[in-house]
Each structure stands twice: as structure tokens, then as C-alpha cells.
């Protein structure tokens, strides 16, 4: 269906080869997963399929890409619209209409299809994607998962043979991600559509993939079945790391397979006695009956909690549960209807200037919002000046976080992980008493996530600080957090030690704990530590 023959790609004004001599044949009805470190060219590969690269971006393409016998050299991306549906990284950026129904009609209208055909196809697509109840809603008011479904539906109305998705689940909570993935599974199996998708969170998608294309970042690619690629790939979901750590001969890609493979292991390890956690002292953040309401809708409903020194608190919950509202309320910049937040008995909303920098550090969802200088080094100088600290401090922090970062690079041109590193070093250079991060792992690969985890744990430990992090990433929470606050519909529905909260909910349990259940281990590290402790 999709044929890459000896494809090489170089972008203009760049000496780096994105792809080198890739030959790949994707059959009809195959689900192919593209993986690789951040900035390795996954999106470029996806966009080669319908010719957006190089028609839209420029660049030198050698070799040929053809879809269903049509070469992308000869037609523009629009000429392939009936054949290929493409869903971008952030579907909201690609919507052209206001309501769900109009959005679905858009591509059919521009292809001049008859109104009765359009009506039929829209009804089909709405039913298939369970969007019927949302048909006349404003797209901007939908949740992330719903938007993703609308984007897929508006590609499906064209009856495409190929569907291309760039990180379809990265912004979604585990449950919404599950929904989107099961829809993709159905498309492949019931309609025989060929699906190509890129994703960082392998633990979510690997079970669905027929084949994996691994891009290593300097143009080399590796193509194989998931189990072949996972034998050697440095990017791997936790269960693969578990299999490697336990020295299993086989690698299981699903929880079911891994349970089968670890049966003997699980029988031999006895669950160690868990020492009761120390009771925390020294409160840092005191949230006192905070209510946040926007018009008639309530984002937070009289929420109270106390966060202590040394704690890393993960705020979890579905999209729209009130996580961001809680974080901005803690930082004292959000809109708060009633209630108060105190940080070390200072009211957080009254903080300003240098005192604010020394009290709260906040990394917003888009770390680049914090950046405005023209180069990395200027950004660091500015931060030194703002924080009234010794010149060079921020740069020193940055060098620790992201070693080898080029000083003259423009912040926009950094990779996702590097940009987060820069924002983080600006915030950390003033050594705030509380660090807050809103969805920091969107678009980060495993390596970058590991670095982030290490930094945050060190920060909390060395300086006795409190860290609050909102995330959908269950595996990150398992590795990082000491405590989880679970929000639903503006209320705190669970608040406790990570292990208790995560194990209590099947949707939010990490992979390792599902494999090793009933033993209470969340990470590969926990399992290995328990094995070592065996007499």
C-alpha cells in the first residue's frame, strides 16, 4: 500500500540527514508504529507519506514514496486527500470549522461530493466514532480525547485507505488513549485500513503494532516486528525492561504474555514486609477549601489538601478534571473563586517579583511560554538578572540538566526535551521552595523522562522541597511520585501514597504492577530490589 524506495531526506539549511536510504513496504491493513528519540524524524517520516514533506516544508528528497501506486512526487498533498487521512500532533491546530459536523463535512465539500453522499458518510463516521451526541458542539469546547476522535472521523469520511497519526495519545489520559487506540484497532481489523502512527508512550501502543520502524536519529532506520525490535531497542516500555532485568529468554509485549512468562519468578519471590511510611511533617503548601468556577461550570469544588516537605505529589485525573486549575491556584496565578492557598504561610496569589521566584517555580504546559530571548545563553543571562543571582548560575544549572547544549541555539530550535530542560533550569536557578510542573512529559522520550525524574527527585531530596506535578503518564508517576492526588470532576477522590492510589485503579496501574500483581511493586527497580533482598 505504501512504498518507500531508497528514501533519503535532508532539510534545507541543515546538514543532518533525517532519513537515509529507507526502503519499506507497508502492506494493506497493517498497523505500523514509528518510534525513535525526540527530534529523530518521526514526524518527517509520517509527513512523507502524503507529500507534505517536501511539498510543504522544502528539503531534498531522494528516492520515491508512493501510496497505492501514486508517487508523491507527481501529486500535491491535496491530490492524495481521498487516499490518505492525516491527523496531526495537535488536532486543534488543524481544525478548519466551528462545529463537529461542519468539520467532518469540510474535506468532502472541497472535493465537491454530492450533499446526499456527504450526509450518509457523516452519519456513518459519527456512529463509528461514537460522536453522535456531540455533532453540533463547538469543537473548541470538546475535551482532548473527543477532539482526537473528531480529527480521526473527519479523515474517515473520505474513506481513505491509509490513516497517518502523529502521537495520537500523547495528550490524552489513559482511558481516552485506550478509546482512541481501540478505534484504530477496529479500523485495521474491520475495514482493512492501513495505519501508520508515531508514539512515545510505547506501553500504550506496542500491543497493537504489526511492525515497528525504529529511527535512531542520525538517519538510520530499523524495521521489524515488535518482538524483534524490542530485543535490542533502547526505547522500550517498562515490561520489556522487566523482561530484560529478569533475564527472561522471551520478551512479552502484553501484560498477559508477561504474566505467563514470569509465573515461576512470581512464585519464588516472597513479598517483603512493607515498612510503614514516615509520617510527613513541615507543611509547605496548604490548600484551604479552594473553589474555581468559570461561569456556570465548576473546575474545582472546595478542595483542601496539605503538601509537605520532601513530597513529590502527582496530580492525576481525566482530561478536564481540574488538574491545571489546581496547579495555577497553588501557584497563585489562576482564577480562584473562593478559598486560599498558602505556601510557607505566604498567600500565593499575593506573591510578586523576586519573592515569587524564590517561593514558587512553575513550568507551564508549553515550557516555551517562559522563554522569549533569542538564544539559550541570553535566556540564561536574563534569568540571572531576574532572579538577582550571581551571573552564570542558570547556565551552570542548565549544563547539569542538559549537558552539551549549544549556547547560541534559538530556544525554538531545541528539541522538546532540551526546551523543557532550559525552562526548568531558569526556574530552578532561583531555588524555589515549591516546584510545580503541568504535563511536562508530552513529547518526551524515555531517555528525557528518565533525566527529568532524576532531576526532580534530587531537587526534592537535597533542598527539602515540595514538587507538584500534573500528568497522565502513569509510568512516570510510578517512578517519581511519593504521593498521588486523584481528581475527578473538581473533587479530590483519592489522596494517598503512590502505591496505594495507583494499585487501587486498574486503568491507572502501571504495567509492572499489572504483571507482578498481587505483589505491590510499581517499577522494574522495585522488583529487582525485592529479588536482591531475597535470602
Partner 1 sequence: MKKLSLHPLTWWIWSLTLAIAVARLGSPIVAIASVGVMGVIVFSQRDDAPWSKSFSWTLKLSASILFIRTFIGVTIGVPVPGTNLFSLPILPLPHWMPGIRIGGAVTIERLTSALSEGVVICALIIIFGAAASLTSPHKLLRILPIYMYEFSVAVVISTSLVPQLVGSVSRIRQAQKLRGQSTKGFHSYRRLAIPLLEESLARSLDLAAAMDSRGYGISRLRSRYRPIQWRLPDSAIVLCGLLVMTLA
Secondary structure class of 252 (helix, strand, coil): coil
Nearer to partner 1, 364 or 510 (CB): 364
| Shortest Å distance, C-beta 109 to partner 1 | 6
Tell me the C-alpha distance between 380 and 423, whole Å.
Answer: 10
| Shortest Å distance, C-beta 344 to partner 1 | 16
Tell me the C-alpha distance between 446 and 475, whole Å.
Answer: 10
Place of cell 543571582: 389
| Shortest Å distance, C-beta 108 to partner 1 | 7
| Shortest Å distance, C-beta 373 to partner 1 | 8
Tell me the C-alpha distance between 103 and 112, whole Å.
Answer: 15
Cβ neighbours around 342 below 10 Å, total? 17
Nearer to partner 1, 62 or 111 (CB): 111
Nearer to partner 1, 52 or 448 (CB): 52
On the 0-12 / 13-18 / 19+ scale of CB atoms within 10 A, 8 is middle
Ramachandran angles phi, psi of 479, nearest 5°: -75, -30
> Dmax of the chain from CA atoms?
75
Nearer to partner 1, 356 or 442 (CB): 356
Nearer to partner 1, 419 or 472 (CB): 419
| Shortest Å distance, C-beta 135 to partner 1 | 12
Nearer to partner 1, 12 or 535 (CB): 12
Ramachandran angles phi, psi of 77, nearest 5°: -50, -40
Nearer to partner 1, 4 or 362 (CB): 362
Nearer to partner 1, 294 or 454 (CB): 294
Those residues whose C-beta lies under 8 Å from the C-beta of residue 353, and which sit 6 or more positions away, are none
Contact 91, 152 (CB under 8 A): no
Contact 286, 309 (CB under 8 A): no
| Shortest Å distance, C-beta 214 to partner 1 | 25
Contact 1, 31 (CB under 8 A): no
Tell me the C-alpha distance between 266 and 521, whole Å.
Answer: 11
**Which spans of this chain sit near partner 1 (rule: CB under 8 A)?**
47, 50, 52, 55-56, 76-82, 84, 86, 88, 90, 93-98, 101-102, 105-115, 118-119, 122, 138, 140-141, 154, 158, 328, 331, 333-334, 352-357, 360, 362, 364, 366, 368-372, 386-387, 412, 426-427, 430
DSSP labels, 260-325: HHTHHHHHHSPPPPPPPPPPP-SEEEEEEEEEEEETTEEEEEEEEEEEETT-EEEEE-STTSSHHH
Tell me the C-alpha distance between 326 and 489, whole Å.
Answer: 12
Q: Which of 151, 112, 163, 153 is nearest to 130 (CA)?
A: 153
| Shortest Å distance, C-beta 169 to partner 1 | 19
Nearer to partner 1, 247 or 353 (CB): 353
| Shortest Å distance, C-beta 431 to partner 1 | 13
Q: Which of 331, 330, 363, 360 is nearest to 442 (CA)?
A: 363
| Shortest Å distance, C-beta 206 to partner 1 | 27
Nearer to partner 1, 96 or 507 (CB): 96
| Shortest Å distance, C-beta 86 to partner 1 | 5
Tell me the C-alpha distance between 172 and 177, whole Å.
Answer: 6
Q: Which of 269, 317, 280, 310 is nearest to 521 (CA)?
A: 269
Contact 27, 78 (CB under 8 A): no
Beta strand spans in 353-490 (E): 360-363, 434-438, 466-470, 483-488
Contact 518, 506 (CB under 8 A): no
Nearer to partner 1, 114 or 276 (CB): 114
Those residues whose C-beta lies under 8 Å from the C-beta of residue 168, and which sit 6 or more positions away, are 87, 148, 152, 180, 181, 184, 197, 199
| Shortest Å distance, C-beta 340 to partner 1 | 18
Nearer to partner 1, 119 or 454 (CB): 119
On the 0-12 / 13-18 / 19+ scale of CB atoms within 10 A, 279 is exposed
| Shortest Å distance, C-beta 94 to partner 1 | 3
| Shortest Å distance, C-beta 350 to partner 1 | 12
| Shortest Å distance, C-beta 81 to partner 1 | 3
Nearer to partner 1, 89 or 228 (CB): 89
Contact 380, 426 (CB under 8 A): yes
Amino acid at each position: 500500500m505504501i512504498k518507500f524506495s531508497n528514501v533519503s531526506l535532508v532539510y534545507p539549511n541543515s546538514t543532518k540527514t533525517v532519513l537515509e536510504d529507507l526502503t519499506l513496504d507497508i502492506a494493506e491493513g497493517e498497523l505500523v508504529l514509528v518510534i525513535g528519540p525526540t527530534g529523530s524524524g518521526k514526524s518527517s517520516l509520517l509527513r512523507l507519506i502524503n507529500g507534505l514533506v517536501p511539498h510543504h516544508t522544502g528539503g531534498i528528497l531522494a528516492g520515491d514514496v508512493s501510496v497505492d501506486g501514486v508517487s508523491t512526487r507527481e501529486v500535491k498533498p491535496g491530490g492524495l486527500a481521498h487516499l490518505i487521512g492525516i491527523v496531526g500532533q495537535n488536532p486543534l491546530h488543524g481544525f478548519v470549522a466551528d462545529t463537529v459536523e461542519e468539520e467532518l463535512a469540510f474535506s468532502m465539500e472541497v472535493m465537491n461530493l454530492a450533499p446526499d453522499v456527504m450526509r450518509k458518510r457523516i452519519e456513518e463516521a459519527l456512529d463509528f466514532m461514537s460522536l453522535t451526541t456531540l455533532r453540533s458542539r463547538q469543537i473548541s469546547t470538546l475535551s482532548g480525547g473527543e477532539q482526537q476522535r473528531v480529527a480521526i472521523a473527519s479523515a474517515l469520511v473520505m474513506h481513505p485507505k491509509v490513516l497517518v497519526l502523529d502521537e495520537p495519545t500523547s495528550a490524552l489520559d489513559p482511558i481516552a488513549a485506550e478509546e482512541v487506540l481501540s478505534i484504530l484497532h477496529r479500523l485495521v481489523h474491520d475495514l482493512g485500513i492501513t495505519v501508520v502512527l508515531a508514539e512515545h508512550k510505547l506501553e500504550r501502543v506496542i500491543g497493537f503494532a504489526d511492525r515497528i520502524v525504529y529511527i535512531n536519529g542520525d538517519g538510520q532506520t530499523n524495521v521489524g516486528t515488535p518482538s524483534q525490535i524490542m530485543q535490542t531497542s533502547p526505547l522500550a516500555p517498562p515490561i520489556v525492561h522487566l523482561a530484560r532485568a529478569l533475564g527472561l529468554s522471551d520478551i512479552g509485549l502484553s501484560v498477559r504474555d508477561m504474566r505467563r512468562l514470569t509465573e515461576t519468578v512470581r512464585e519464588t519471590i516472597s513479598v517483603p514486609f512493607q515498612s510503614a511510611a514516615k509520617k510527613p511533617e513541615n507543611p509547605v503548601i496548604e490548600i484551604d477549601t479552594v473553589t474555581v468556577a468559570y461561569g456556570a461550570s465548576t473546575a474545582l469544588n472546595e478542595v483542601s489538601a496539605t503538601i509537605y516537605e520532601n513530597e513529590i505529589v502527582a496530580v492525576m485525573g481525566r482530561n478536564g478534571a481540574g488538574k491545571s486549575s489546581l496547579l495555577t491556584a497553588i501557584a497563585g496565578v489562576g482564577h480562584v473563586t473562593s478559598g486560599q492557598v498558602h505556601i510557607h504561610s505566604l498567600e500565593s496569589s499575593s506573591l510578586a517579583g523576586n519573592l515569587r521566584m524564590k517561593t514558587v517555580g512553575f513550568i507551564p504546559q508549553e515550557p516555551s511560554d517562559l522563554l522569549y530571548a533569542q538564544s539559550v545563553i541570553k535566556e540564561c543571562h536574563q534569568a540571572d538578572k531576574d532572579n538577582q543571582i550571581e551571573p552564570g548560575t542558570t547556565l551552570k544549572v542548565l549544563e547539569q540538566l542538559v549537558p552539551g547544549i549549544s549556547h547560541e541555539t534559538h530556544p525554538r530550535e531545541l528539541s522538546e526535551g532540551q526546551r523543557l530542560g532550559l525552562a526548568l533550569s531558569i526556574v530552578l536557578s532561583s531555588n524555589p521552595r515549591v516546584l510545580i510542573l503541568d504535563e511536562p512529559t508530552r513529547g518526551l522520550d524515555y531517555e528525557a523522562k528518565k533525566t527529568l525524574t532524576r532531576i526532580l527527585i534530587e531537587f526534592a531530596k537535597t533542598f527539602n522541597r515540595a514538587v507538584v506535578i500534573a500528568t497522565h503518564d502513569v509510568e512516570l508517576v510510578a517512578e517519581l511520585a511519593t504521593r498521588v492526588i486523584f481528581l475527578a470532576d473538581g473533587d479530590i477522590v483519592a489522596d494517598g501514597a503512590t502505591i496505594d492510589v495507583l494499585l487501587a485503579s486498574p486503568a491507572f496501574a502501571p504495567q509492572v504492577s499489572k504483571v507482578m500483581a498481587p505483589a505491590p511493586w510499581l517499577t522494574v527497580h522495585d522488583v529487582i530490589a525485592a529479588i536482591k533482598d531475597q535470602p
